[in-house]
Structure 1
Amino acid sequence: MVKEMIRKYFQDLSGLVGVSGTEQDVVRYLKECLTPIADEVRIDHFGNVIAVKHGTAPGPKLMISTHSDEIGFCVKNIFSNGFITFDKIGYVADLLLPGRKVWINSNKIPGIIGIKPGHLQTPDEKRQVQSIREYYIDVGASSRLEVEDMGIKIGDPIVFQSDFMEMHNPDLISTKSVDNRIHCAVLIALFHQLQEMDFAGTLYGVVTVREEVEQHGALIVGNSIVPDYAIVLDTIPAGDTPEIDTEKVLPVYLGKGPACPIADGVPGFGFTFIHPRVREMIEEQAKKADVPLQLLTFIGDSYMTDASKLVASGKGIPLGVLTTPRRYSHSPVELVNLNDVVGTLKIVKGIVLDNGKKELNFI
């Protein structure tokens, strides 16, 4: 069953440490999984995974992309008394930091982000959110040498420690790095499903690096592959929690299917407006597969995907964005509904099978 396949791969992937710039463990896992089911798998010098599957007839080059990295931290300095300071990589809210368990580097060395005892906090300290510069990590060491002997060094990646928690409804899963390991699992499942199926053209299944910090990987891989068109898979915040005016601000619901942001971006940083023909593909395949599709725009609210760099790479790439809703973005308790994920896979699979049947003209 495809849902259980996705669950299995997602559980493995979410347990890996792969902060932007240090995605090696995730890349190794993806290469191992994709090699038996793709015609070719290569890793470029930057760390992008490129899996190729050739169709049975001539047709366009289609790229389906997702990203391997997650938000997190890195070791900034190790004090002589064994405490560690750290920097953010990607956006993490300061209010999430105090009292959290973390893993350091791929060996998952356990640590704790320290917190001043409530008994000793001043009234102001109880009310205020401290900045990252006031926090430290405790790994239970008493000297810098002891920390280094654990295998910790400057620049090592750090992630929130998080288990793979199934809710009372087991289709709801809470863990770290739903963004975007869930679509790494989708890409593997897609290649499995295409094993005995015919389609035209060439499929490039791509997993980029450094999406959370400027989308460097997308720009590089877009220039190297130069696909005829692309679908970017990512997660999107769900707006259906009590603190959000859902209908006014973010009409995206968990459990109501994939979301398709028609336009998104942050002024001065990046902007995406999906290509009209690719939008038609997404909407037609959603209808064909009987998958509910949530359409929205999301502009000016700190949300971008690899699409903002990919669209202007190569000769300019017509593209669409297809996303899976998740609650509690960029936290150790991101929450996703596997039924939404399966819907995303169905739409993407349909686009691959119908590759070349629609012209990519703008008007």
Structure 2
Amino acid sequence: MTPSEKEIERFRTLTQLPGIAAHEMRVRDYMKTQLSAYSDELVFDGLGSVFAVKRSKKAGAPKVMMSGHMDEVGFVIKQITPKGLLKFFPLGRTWEHVVMAQRVKVYSSLTGQAYPGAVASIPPHLLPEDSARRLLSLDQMLIDIGAESKQEVLDAGLRPGDMIVVDGPFVPLLGGKKLLSKAWDNRFGCALALDVLEAVAGEELDVDLYIGATVQEESGLRGAKTSGYMIEPEVSVVFESSAANDNMGDPEELGQQGKGVLLRYLDRTSITHRGLFMYATGLAERKKIPFQYFMALGGTDSGEIHTARSGCPSITVGVPSRYIHTNSSIMDYRDYVAARDFALAFLRSLDRERYEKEILSYSR
């Protein structure tokens, strides 16, 4: 099972667009264009989250929110040194082990120009033995774009606060089903939102669907809070690329690639509504969609959406991606297909009666 050429092109485009928290403009432009092809109504929150609206003809249809998030983990320029090197600050959770010596792209907010660079590293030949064994912290690292002075950097249009993303090309791996790239967290969710909307565009649903992507997830679930408040969903499905934990070969570890969609029951920011979780797992079993029970130490947009206004049953639906938050994360296309099958089955199965009897009844 491998992706089509159309899917490959969508994956390539989405993963290669730069967009850290509060700098999602290029990703949002793409999402607006694609969502507009299948919906006449787009809504935005004040931070930049974007959703297509597909309304049901059924009176009293439950309001369903489905969303990925546009931002990827990255950095901003913190300071420019007299030698023209860049000090930087992370936006999103980053591990020092995977930053050193990475290639990056630095984007000018003034001109839009991208400048290639590298996270500077000192060769071990130039370090005392005890220093060579110690890992530098992020605030000790610098980015080298080839400039020789602070003025040269300023003349290039770069300023503190400008965006830095890791350079991680999109590459299908051996066999074609595993896909290597930066930013699967969470351009997976963006791609899935577009695929789902396209699939149901010509159908009559028994729900009012709001589907799209939020902003600033990696910096604190900010877009989820504002869009959840705006939409006031009755049920939410969050699309998220989660951490796979299968590459050491232990089949008991959570997050196995190629084994199906992840249905998350617990993480640091939310406990999945029990009625919704039972409905989701029962649906996957009935439809014979491969799925995995999943919990995580991190959090997702569900953490804010499930407490929006008076509360909203919310579940995180994901794929297990290896090496997330690096320039070389890997997604398995088979899991993507399972996630898409689940999202479509969920939309096509839900109506007001099922929502109240099989989901909301657990809260009554």
**TM-score normalised by the chain length of structure 1:** 0.93
Superposed CA RMSD: 1.8
CA offsets 1:91-147 (integer angstroms, 9 cap, x no match): 111111221110112533101111112211221222111011211111111112211
Match 2:266 to one of 260, 263, 279:
263
- Aligned-pair distance for 1:282? 1.8
Structure 2 equivalent of residue 32 of structure 1: 33
Structure 1 equivalent of residue 361 of structure 2: 361
Q: Is the 8 A contact 1:166 1:172 kept in 2?
A: yes
- Aligned-pair distance for 1:320? 1.4
Q: Is the 8 A contact 1:62 1:355 kept in 2?
A: no
1:288-307 alignment runs, 5 A limit: 288-298=286-296, 301=297, 303-307=298-302
1:174-253 alignment runs, 5 A limit: 174-242=180-248, 247=252, 250-253=253-256
Cα distance in 1 for residues equivalent to 2:98 and 2:294: 28
Q: Is the 8 A contact 1:76 1:84 kept in 2?
A: yes
Farther off after superposition, 71-80 or 282-291: 282-291
Cα distance in 2 for residues equivalent to 1:2 and 1:98: 33
Cα distance in 1 for residues equivalent to 2:221 and 2:134: 33
Match 2:284 to one of 283, 286, 292:
286
Q: Is the 8 A contact 1:111 1:137 kept in 2?
A: yes
Aligned residues: 352
Match 1:82 to one of 81, 84, 92:
84
Structure 2 equivalent of residue 50 of structure 1: 51
Structure 2 equivalent of residue 276 of structure 1: 274
CA offsets 1:332-357 (integer angstroms, 9 cap, x no match): 11110011011101111111112215
**TM-score normalised by the chain length of structure 2:** 0.92
> What percentage of aligned pairs have identical amino acids?
28
In the alignment, residue 142 of structure 1 is paired with which amino acid?
A: E
Structure 2 equivalent of residue 310 of structure 1: 305
- Aligned-pair distance for 1:2? 10
Q: Is the 8 A contact 1:224 1:314 kept in 2?
A: no
- Aligned-pair distance for 1:246? 5.9
In the alignment, residue 291 of structure 1 is paired with which amino acid?
A: I
Where do 4+ consecutive residues of structure 1 move more than 6 Å? none
Q: Secondary structure at the match of 2:130?
A: helix
Q: Is the 8 A contact 2:78 2:86 kept in 1?
A: yes
- Aligned-pair distance for 1:231? 0.8
Task: Point out where structure 1 has 5 or more consecutive residues left out of the alignment.
Answer: none
Cα distance in 1 for residues equivalent to 2:128 and 2:303: 45
Cα distance in 1 for residues equivalent to 2:31 and 2:279: 27
In the alignment, residue 273 of structure 1 is paired with which amino acid?
A: I
Distance 1:182 1:316, change over 3 A: same
Q: Secondary structure at the match of 1:37?
A: coil
Q: Is the 8 A contact 1:326 1:337 kept in 2?
A: yes
Q: Is the 8 A contact 2:237 2:316 kept in 1?
A: yes
Q: Secondary structure at the match of 2:336?
A: helix
In the alignment, residue 258 of structure 2 is paired with which amino acid?
A: G
- Aligned-pair distance for 1:23? 0.8
1:94-133 alignment runs, 5 A limit: 94-105=96-107, 107-133=113-139
Q: Is the 8 A contact 1:20 1:210 kept in 2?
A: yes
Match 2:257 to one of 243, 254, 261:
254
In the alignment, residue 178 of structure 1 is paired with which amino acid?
A: W
Distance 1:190 1:3, change over 3 A: farther
Residue 329 (1) aligns with residue 324 (2): yes
Cα distance in 1 for residues equivalent to 2:295 and 2:102: 34
Structure 2 equivalent of residue 62 of structure 1: 64
Cα distance in 2 for residues equivalent to 1:60 and 1:29: 28
Match 1:136 to one of 119, 133, 142:
142
Q: Secondary structure at the match of 1:259?
A: strand
